[in-house]
Amino acid sequence: MSSCKILVIDDDVGPRESLRILLKNEYEIVLADHVDQGMQLLREVKPDVVIMDIRMPGKSGIDGLRELRQIDPLVSVIMLTGYGALETAQEAIRLGANDYLKKPFDIAEIQEAIKRNTQRTQLERRKIKALEDLQSLTSSLSEEIMVKEQLASVGQASAEFAHDLRNPLGIVTGYCELLFNQLRGLQNNLGEEFSETLEYMNAIEENVQRCQELAELWQKSGREYSGEKTPVEVEPLLREIVRSLEPLMLVGTQRVSYDMQIEPDIVILADRSQLLRALHNVVANALHAIPETGGQIILACRKHEGCARIVIKDNGSGIAPERLEKVFEPYFTTKPAGKGTGLGLSITKKIIEEHNGAIQLQSIQGEGTEVIIDLPLAPVS
């Protein structure tokens, strides 16, 4: 039997049992006769596909769909109805349904819909997991670089490790390309979701590329900083960071929104990889400070007294006054044990200062934190 789980929510015993009998040999089937029972089972069994009737007494399928998307934004949902109301179908799709079928359903049609949507759910979940894993790898690698820079005695070992690390990263990049090719073959099945799938895969490749760049920085960590800088536009840099962190917005029940308030065409002279590394640390810290109930991160940039002033602000937990003065010290962390090494902000401060910039942090416990970074503007040619 397949490990895929199908949750059927329908107050009508006829269609409910018909689906159970039709699908029981291929899937694990779970049944509910009303929305509240269905939402409880959704939390317990984590199905790959939910099949839900639109017209039910009490809470309707539309009500259930709204509630379902708060619990699981990734699971595929097929709505069923005995009525051909176009407005109802449009409302269901707008609220996040993936398919819409009429009763009495055609057996071949619903089997194909379930197969297609099962694959979609699994693909979405794998994309999120892959991006989370790559994000974790990137963050860990960034912080470990700082550790190795402080330990000159292991400089050679660091260079050797970075050299070895580039090999598996190259393999991951190759498999990403193979996956791209497979996805192109599935384009007809994915339909409108194909473009979104490619965006996720692009994000994976970008993060792998960033790991490769960090590995190269690691290899150079024992050498004097070259100071080589090129013109870098701030807006695309910040948008790249947000895109790389988007998967973490969907972890658990947490919902985080971003407000981008960026003045266009602001250009600074920078080592792009190093600056990306520094700003990524700050935005990741802001994301980690947001409570499970959700929150908002503001990313702003404007010209200020000959500098690009970058402001990253969250409405998270904030930092206690007695800890605020220590946040840039190596190995100091406000995170729970095992959740951080305390190197992110010290790395960021070092990089900002290497770019002749300045960084300051303001925070109110229980209200949030604001990080202000000033970097010199590139000369106008």
pLDDT at residue 24 above 70? Answer: yes
Per residue in 168-200, pLDDT tens? 565 566 666 666 666 666 666 656 666 666 666
Same domain, 331 and 364: yes
Q: Which of 42-46, 85-89, 281-285 has the lowest mean pLDDT?
A: 85-89
Does residue 114 sit within a domain?
Answer: no
Does residue 224 sit within a domain?
Answer: no
Q: Which of 219, 249, 271 is the last residue of a domain?
A: 219
Instruction: List the beta strands (DSSP E) in the chain.
Output: 5-9, 28-32, 49-53, 76-81, 99-102, 230-233, 256-262, 267-270, 295-304, 307-314, 358-364, 368-376
What DSSP designation does 250 have?
G
Looking at every residue in the chain, the average pLDDT score rounds to 79
pLDDT at residue 211 above 80? Answer: no
**Residue 228 in 3-state DSSP?**
coil
> What integer is the mean pLDDT of 275-303?
87
pLDDT class of 7 with cuts at 50, 70, 90: very high
Residue scoring higher pLDDT (215 or 241): 241
Does residue 381 sit within a domain?
Answer: no
Per residue in 272-288, pLDDT tens? 888 988 898 898 888 88
Same domain, 329 and 235: yes
Q: How many whole angstroms separate alpha carbon 16 and alpha carbon 21? A: 9
Same domain, 100 and 172: no
Does residue 133 sit within a domain?
Answer: yes
pLDDT at residue 54 above 60? Answer: yes
Please name every residue paired with 31 in a beta bridge, in sequence order, or none if there are none. Answer: 8
Same domain, 214 and 285: no
Same domain, 90 and 126: no
Residue scoring higher pLDDT (139 or 1): 139
Same domain, 240 and 340: yes
* Residue 160: domain span: 121-219
What DSSP designation does 377 have?
B
pLDDT class of 376 with cuts at 50, 70, 90: very high
Q: Which residues contact 310 (CB under 8 A, 6 or more apart)?
A: 234, 238, 279, 299, 300, 301, 372, 373, 374, 375
Q: Please tell me the total count of domains within the chain.
A: 3
Residue 34, domain CATH: 3.40.50.2300
